Structure 1
Amino acid sequence: MDVDARLLDSVALPGARELVCGLPFERPGAGRNRALLLHGAELEVHDLAVLFAGDRAPGAVFPLPWPGWGGGVHSVAPDGAFAAFSGQRSVRAVDADGTTRWVYGHACWDQRVGHPHTGDERQVCPGSESGSCRVSDDGRSVWAHVVLEAGDDPADYQEGWVVLDARDGRELARLPLPDSVASGSWHLAHPDGVHMGLCVGMGQDGVLVYWGRREGGELIVHDELNDGLDRILYDVHPDHPGFLTLEHNGNDLQLHALDGTVLAENDELRWDHSCGFLDGDTVLATSDVGYAADPEDHTTWLLAARTLEMRGRVRYPGGAADGPVRPLGDGTWLTYDATTDTVHRWTV
């Protein structure tokens, strides 16, 4: 069954592609979606409701602590009071006025053995590896994927997951990640306010997925999906009990309980890296044209959120070309028009 898409809003914005093709949005409150865009040496914070109302000025702007650093995934506190930056050799919290709140130093993400550091914290090493951080939805802690140890011997290298006090950067809990040799990573906050997700991309070596919670000074994790190293963490929704993953080659979509149990699966098509919860009852996903036997199979699909059964194919007005989608969880989704650097917001 075809389902018609209805255009709600459009906005042209430099860097707009990242709103659709970048990492998952931060959702600091019910019904709110907030996009973080890194422009040069500044991190811009855009509330989507304000953006699509016509105000393209960012709600807040934070200076990047290391002007030459282009890696890492950063985060902003729910109230906008500070930003947490994931750097090459530290996690740094910066207040809204640009002053440094605290610094949590760690070993260098550049995995070259024994490379020198000048002592200048603005030094950027050539390696492309990086980590990520995420401010908890209550604003009280910062979760960060960091390098715990690195030295002259490759055997000394070890990554880890730490939870930091948002007030002063004090380490509250840590967990070594002995299997992780990351190219990059990102966090996804669970709406239960307790669990945090971490997805670690390791290039050709696969993907790691963790769900963690802090109990006192310990970090307790579910890592049952890591036996196959082949699932990418994509989305979670407050009105749905599971989380959504994609097999890294696009062979199937799956829904899981926090302990990794598969609740539903769809392997009817080869899926593209573009999916998420449209709302608590519906998943939106795109099929991969590169592997489709029939060009008609490359399109945007609606799936039942609890069974992942096909509900219908999305039909855009005027024959608009299908492409990547960014479901927002509130019944709407975004697409991107590269010819005009414009983002469109749709509903069914």
Structure 2
Amino acid sequence: MAITAQLLDSVRLPGGSALVNGSAYESRTGSARCALLRNGHELEVHELDELLAGEGAPRAVFPVPWPGWDQGVHSVSPDGTFAVFSGQRSVRAVDARGTTLWEYRHGCWDQQIGHRHTGDPGQICRGIESGSCKVSDDGRLVWAHVVAPERGEGEDDGEYDDLWVVLDAADGSELARLTLDSVASGSQHHSHPDGIHMGLEIGMGQDGILLYWGRWDGEKLTTWDLNETLDRILMDVHPEQPGFLTVEHYGYDIQLHDLDGTVVAEAEPPEPRDDEDPLGWDWACGFVDATTVIASTMEFGDDPEGHRHWLLDARTMEIRGPVDYPTGPVDGFARPLGDGTWLTYDEESDTLSRWRTAPPTPAAS
């Protein structure tokens, strides 16, 4: 049975697709939800509620250190006083004036072996690979996925290690590192609502996905390598409990996991309608709240189309039903916010919308 959605907010927002389809949304425990939007050579920080209410002025603006660099996933401190940028050859923290607070240099993400660098710190190399960084919820740490520093002359063996590093947010000093068995195309961090654990998902193109969890207790970095059992995309973390959601690389199922990777529940795609090709889960799902998951499907055909959204039980992963939007079909992904609502974006009208499940209709007396 279809589940009716109720429209809460709607705003025209060119470029807002990154809030639904990308990595431009930050949620932190006990603080306002932030929208990070790239506007030319600047990174704008908005409070999501204000943005949806039509308030266009950002709360903070940070100059991008390397105007020609449009890759990487960046992060902003919980108090909004500094931003940390994941660059091609360094991770850099800056304040709102663009002043560099610190810089952590690393190897170049361009996978072309032996290419030369000029003395220009703004030089952008040809590769499209990139890393990511994330400021912890307490603002004390920066977790970053980087490339190991380049080897000196005569030391190049044709391979470069990826690293997962924990940095002191105050000065960028390295507190710990983990060498990763990956050749990444890109990555994404996921901070857990418990404020302790950090997840790292690494995309390697046709070579699959790598997934790690870690925590820093002030003295020791403890990590969980889940890659012997998982080749899955980390989509979301539970808003209250130590668990997470993944989608199988090709969309064959969605799984709910404990933090150690143990599968708690699983959902296969719903049965297609008579006029549809077989369905697969698309690369978007997450927790609407602690009890509900939203996920999208697409057709497994030569021309995949027809996104549909479904609500699932967050404990059992049982499909409750498809979402019925009163404004008509909604294409594209749904980005759940964990507070009982979710976002969608209409590419044709550049409209960002927030939804919730419509309350039950009162019974007639």
Give the deviation of 1:264 after TM superposition. Answer: 0.8
* 1:324 and 2:333 matched: yes
* Structure in which a larger fraction of residues adopt helix: 1
| Aligned pairs for 1:172-211 within 5 A | 172-177=175-180, 179-211=181-213
Give the deviation of 1:323 after TM superposition. Answer: 2.7
Amino acid at match of 2:182: S
- Alpha carbons of structure 1 residues 322 and 240: separation in structure 2 relative to 1, 3 Å: farther
Is the Cα–Cα contact under 8 Å of residues 3 and 322 in structure 2 kept in the other structure? yes
Give the deviation of 1:69 after TM superposition. Answer: 0.7
- Alpha carbons of structure 1 residues 100 and 107: separation in structure 2 relative to 1, 3 Å: same
| Aligned pairs for 1:172-321 within 5 A | 172-177=175-180, 179-224=181-226, 226-227=227-228, 230-269=231-270, 270-291=280-301, 298-321=307-330
Partner of 2:5: 5
Distance 1:51 1:99 in 2: 27
Partner of 2:30: 30
- Alpha carbons of structure 1 residues 312 and 30: separation in structure 2 relative to 1, 3 Å: farther
- Name segments (4+ residues, structure 1) moved above 4 Å: none
Amino acid at match of 1:122: G
Give the deviation of 1:312 after TM superposition. Answer: 1.6
Is the Cα–Cα contact under 8 Å of residues 11 and 54 in structure 1 kept in the other structure? yes
Give the deviation of 1:119 after TM superposition. Answer: 1.8
| Aligned pairs for 1:20-59 within 5 A | 20-23=20-23, 25-30=25-30, 32-59=32-59
Give the deviation of 1:238 after TM superposition. Answer: 2.5
- Provide the secondary structure at the position in 1 that maps to 2:57: coil
Distance 2:327 2:109 in 1: 47
RMSD of aligned alpha carbons: 1.9
- Provide the secondary structure at the position in 2 that maps to 1:210: strand
- Provide the secondary structure at the position in 2 that maps to 1:220: strand
1:163 to 166, 171, 178: 166
Distance 2:161 2:198 in 1: 21
- Provide the secondary structure at the position in 2 that maps to 1:240: coil
| Aligned pairs for 1:63-142 within 5 A | 63-142=63-142
- Provide the secondary structure at the position in 2 that maps to 1:5: strand
Distance 1:118 1:242 in 2: 45
Greater Rg over alpha carbons, structure: 2
- Alpha carbons of structure 1 residues 98 and 31: separation in structure 2 relative to 1, 3 Å: closer
TM-score, length basis structure 2:
0.90
Task: List gaps (5 residues or longer) in structure 1.
Answer: none
Q: Deviations 1:261-296 (Å, cap 9, x if unpaired)?
A: 01111113410112110000000001113459x99x
Q: Deviations 1:107-158 (Å, cap 9, x if unpaired)?
A: 1111111111112110111111110000000000100001114447354411
Task: List gaps (5 residues or longer) in structure 2.
Answer: 271-279, 358-365
- % same residue: 62
Q: Deviations 1:303-323 (Å, cap 9, x if unpaired)?
A: 000110011211011423343
Is the Cα–Cα contact under 8 Å of residues 42 and 61 in structure 1 kept in the other structure? yes
Distance 2:337 2:31 in 1: 9
Is the Cα–Cα contact under 8 Å of residues 24 and 234 in structure 1 kept in the other structure? no
Amino acid at match of 1:259: D
Of the structure 1 ranges 95-104 and 31-40, higher mean CA displacement relative to structure 2 is found in: 31-40
- Alpha carbons of structure 1 residues 190 and 318: separation in structure 2 relative to 1, 3 Å: closer
Q: Deviations 1:198-246 (Å, cap 9, x if unpaired)?
A: 000000111001101114443211112x125620011013323310111
